Structure 1
Amino acid sequence: MTASILITAAYLLGSLSSAIIVCRLMGLPDPRTQGSNNPGATNVLRIGGKKAAAITLIGDSLKGFIPVLIANLMAVEPLVLAGVALAAFLGHLYPLFFGFKGGKGVATALGVQFGIGWEIGGTIALIWLFIAKGLKISSLAALISMALAPVVVWYFWHAPELITMHAIMSVILFWRHRSNIQKLLEGSEGKINNEQEPAGKE
């Protein structure tokens, strides 16, 4: 019963789209109809600026962090912890309250990783930061850091359930970033310092 409640609550919390809520509260256009049409922090940056994007990023991260941290503090079994983490992540990608059309999941995944363990989240965040600073491409940094997430989890916590869950998350993230991958292959993916562009541009 406890596991079911935790997993359901994690999905429902994940279903609260920070991007859409922030844009509505700040009088900005719906991120699903502007820029890249993705309800995530990067697109909110394009249409609303740094403040709106920062709030969205924090909100998306907390959706993953809070339910996983609670489950972790309750000392649930690794399988239940993995279920809570995946539920929060899928809630962001396929939100019940917003027509099952959500973001790409990087911030929520990172929140999940910090909820599991600060050393896991911190290591993955440092990988992202190192790559992003060097290559100036946010999507590439996200893809590489999340691809390495199962390895990081394995190093710090030898729980097959959590490693498998992160592998599933990584596969889904790559699928959700398939348009970014195509642009990377074409050499047309935007740089981080060019992210804040007029609405309507990728």
Structure 2
Amino acid sequence: MTALTILMLAIAYLLGSISSAVWVCRLFSLNDPRESGSGNPGTTNVLRIGGRFPALLVLVFDVLKGTVPVWYSYHLGLEPVYLACVAVTACLGHMFPLFFRFKGGKAVATAFGALLPLGLGLASIILLSWLIVLYLSGYASLAAIVAFSLAPIFTWLIKPDYAIPVAILSSLIILRHRPNIIRLLRKQETKIVYKNNK
């Protein structure tokens, strides 16, 4: 592993550790997302407690946390296995943020952002899968689980060299959703509830 790879891993983790959900909620004088709603500092929970605009800001920044380090690593010529490490590290930063007592979110948006440098076609198919499941079920967690379960297959069909790295990233996201999977099986999971902006 080269010094450049180590540097990109450090940047990815530190960038991932910036919790946009917490900062956006502070900006809009909302309750701390780690202590309100589902307790998850992510887009869906901010949508529940603060409405669409704060949630949109969180979504955009969380996507960029994955896109920026992977995009730079991709254009710096890092091999697919190291790109996977950068993507996973950015997501680990989101899940276990250094700056917020290691209490983070599910990293769905960050993982999606990490896939964007592989091509808009691939990202669009994954996003479409997420939207279809969300529309049919109303569960953001189920949509994420299905979309990232399909992501390695889509990648293998479009960019096969990156199928294994994407499979690693997808596995991390699915594992992070274990509590959601249990609640879904018990029919205790909460659907997205829209709240008008104040």
State the distance in 2 between where 1:54 and 1:123 align: 21
After TM superposition, list the pairs within 5 Å mapping 1:1-202 onto structure 2: 1-159=3-161, 162-192=162-192, 194-196=193-195
How far apart are residue 46 of structure 1 and its match?
1.6
Unaligned runs of 5+ in 1: 198-202
TM-score normalised by structure 1 residue count: 0.89
Deviations 1:30-87 (A, max 9, x none): 1111111111111111211111111011111110011111112223221221221111
The corresponding residue for 1:200 is none
State the distance in 1 between where 2:173 and 2:89 align: 14
State the distance in 1 between where 2:178 and 2:89 align: 22
Secondary structure of 1:148's partner?
A: helix
Report if the CA contact (8 A) 1:42-1:195 is conserved: no
State the distance in 1 between where 2:169 and 2:83 align: 14
State the distance in 1 between where 2:79 and 2:39 align: 38
State the distance in 1 between where 2:93 and 2:119 align: 21
Secondary structure of 1:35's partner?
A: coil
TM-score normalised by structure 2 residue count: 0.90
Deviations 1:124-157 (A, max 9, x none): 1111112212222211111000111111221122
Report if the CA contact (8 A) 1:61-1:108 is conserved: yes
Which aligned runs of 4 or more in structure 1 are off by greater than 4 angstroms?
none
How far apart are residue 166 of structure 1 and its match?
2.5
State the distance in 2 between where 1:3 and 1:20 align: 29
User: Is 176-185 or 56-65 further displaced after alignment?
Assistant: 176-185
How far apart are residue 102 of structure 1 and its match?
0.6
RMSD: 1.7
Q: Which amino acid aligns with 2:140?
A: S
Q: Which amino acid aligns with 1:18?
A: S
State the distance in 1 between where 2:35 and 2:191 align: 22
How far apart are residue 196 of structure 1 and its match?
4.1
Q: Which amino acid aligns with 1:54?
A: L
User: Is 33-42 or 150-159 further displaced after alignment?
Assistant: 150-159
User: Is 18-27 or 74-83 further displaced after alignment?
Assistant: 74-83
Report if the CA contact (8 A) 2:20-2:58 is conserved: yes
How far apart are residue 195 of structure 1 and its match?
4.8
Identity of aligned residues (%): 45
Report if the CA contact (8 A) 2:106-2:177 is conserved: yes
Report if the CA contact (8 A) 1:68-1:116 is conserved: no
State the distance in 1 between where 2:163 and 2:90 align: 16
